[in-house]
Amino acid sequence: MWPAVDSGSAAPPLIDYAATTLNTTELFLIAMCLIFAVPYLIWRLGRTDYWAPLVVVQIVTGIVLGPGVVGAAYPEYYQLVFRPEVVQGLNGVAWWAVMLFVFIAGVELDLAEAWRHRGETLITAGSAMIVPLLLGAAAAGLLVVNDALPWVGESSQPWQFIAGLGMACTVTALPILILLMEKLEILQAPLGQRILRYASVDDVVIWGVLALILTDWQRIGRQVVFVVLFSVLAFGMRRLMAFLAERDRWYVALVWLAAVSFAAHWAGLHFMVGAFLAGAVMEVRWFGLERLDQLRHHVVLVLMPVFFLSTGLCTTWESGGVVVFAAALLLLVAADVGTAAFTHS
């Protein structure tokens, strides 16, 4: 049984009763009810789809339900439902959801077409990073000059902080990008495939450069090992998948997805990069485009809401106060202006 939540004052009777009778499984299911019901009701009853698609409502709802809003206003209720054990379980579902989602996008990327346009892809993807990188680095420089908060950690140098934040302003929110392209019905169109190629190249380069910025030679060594092993194993996996019957390909693909995601995360490239690469070496014809589309639809419906809300549920608003909000706004403007400037150039 769970003990009553100690929030510094006498808890309401409902909290005392729930804390002593509900176990982790029951609290997890209550959290799942909130995750699926609250954003859906806001989206449907508020008719927000024109100015705020469901995915945006889910992200905002996660922030509102997190410790910074509901957690601050009703700490007893928040601490009861979103216990660390429950949040940990939600994070596990969220990780698997986004890995599946990005994997499917990788499978639907035409690798042969990407290779034929490799020169254009590298030039365009590299150019798309430059303006957000420069503006983000300039914004980070302003933060370093302003000593309102100790922005640079004790074990870091100012140049690492500036370069790291500059690179962070170039990161692509790949799951959000894919969802928006799907909503616009351009994901499988030539334009959508080009955008997907640019975004994936950018994200892979960013994680590698961040390892250089951190001067983490162990991580850089791991990334070299990952690239070499992945190249060899991907060749063998393609041969195996071509040999297997379709019913076996799905199970083998899921094992391959988990293994490559683990290896990429171990190497410091993030599991989403690994999930995308695991899918990129697969062929659509091995699974069938219609079945892949159905799987993506079900992942978006059944699993992705947990991913979109889980980040907000872990977001706190206590560190730094108004200064942190101002810094976040500054970096947001730098990233958006940089991206827009490249788009219109």
CB atoms within 10 A of CB 31: 22
Q: What is the mean pLDDT of the chain?
A: 82
pLDDT tens per residue, range 62-72: 888 888 788 88
Query: Per-residue pLDDT averaged across 139-159, rounded?
Result: 77
pLDDT tens per residue, range 22-63: 888 999 999 999 999 999 999 999 888 778 888 889 888 988
Long-range contacts, 65-74 (Cβ 8 Å, 24+): 65/34, 65/38, 65/309, 65/312, 65/313, 66/312, 66/313, 66/314, 66/315, 66/316, 67/313, 67/315, 67/316, 67/317, 68/315, 68/316, 68/317, 68/318, 69/317, 72/317
Please tell me the predicted confidence (pLDDT) of residue 240. Answer: 94
Choose from 106-120, 148-162, 254-268 the range with maximum mean pLDDT. 254-268
Q: What's the N-to-C CA distance of the chain in angstroms?
A: 61
Closest CA to 107 of 320, 344, 296, 322: 296
Which residue segments constitute the domains of the chain, with CATH numbers given? 13-82 (no CATH), 102-305+320-332 (1.20.1530.20)
Contact 276, 102 (CB under 8 A): yes
Please tell me the predicted confidence (pLDDT) of residue 49. Answer: 79
Return the percentage of the chain with pLDDT > 70, whole number.
87
Structure tokens at 317: 């608003």
Contacts of 2 (CB under 8 A, 6+ apart): 19, 20, 22, 23, 83
